[in-house]
Amino acid sequence: MNIPANLKYTSSHEWVRTEADGTLSVGITDHAQTALGDLVYVELPAIGRKLAAAEACAVVESVKAASDIYAPVAGEVVAVNAGVTDAPEQVNKDPYASWFFRIKPADPAAVAKLLDAKAYEATIGDA
């Protein structure tokens, strides 16, 4: 299982990367894409949408199931990655390069409360 140490994680299987401009890139983890199987559809939030922490804001569908994607922290969506809507299979190939959306956090300190790689690994066990 690939769990990069430089990222933060949520217990709902999103990864979070802090960008140079202070925004956060959000995607789904290797564990999540493996559990879902081959992705066939991704729906992203609208740019400008204000999100609460843990709010469902995107959807991924696979040949097996549909699953909500949740905001890791409160903030405003400032960018979306149209590449994952055009080619959802890219998420299966490289989930950590395939970010879904970027959020400007309402409270940048909230990122520190997310899980580190070791804590995330503990939440998924030997999956």
**How far is it, in rounded angstroms, from Cα 37 to Cα 52?**
28
- 82-117 pLDDT, tens digit per residue, is 999 999 999 999 999 999 999 999 999 999 999 999
Residues 29 and 59: their CA atoms lie apart, in Å, by 14
Phi, psi dihedral angles at 11 (to 5 degrees): -70, -15
User: Would you call 32 helix, strand, or coil by DSSP?
Assistant: helix
The pLDDT assigned to 77 comes to 98
Note whether 111 and 23 are within 8 A (CB). no
Domain locations along the chain: 8-124
Give 1's pLDDT tier (boundaries 50, 70, 90).
confident
Nearest to 103 by CA among 63, 67, 53, 34: 53
pTM of the model: 0.95
Domain 8-124 has CATH 2.40.50.100: yes
CA angle at 56 for the pair 58 and 44, rounded to the nearest 5°:
15
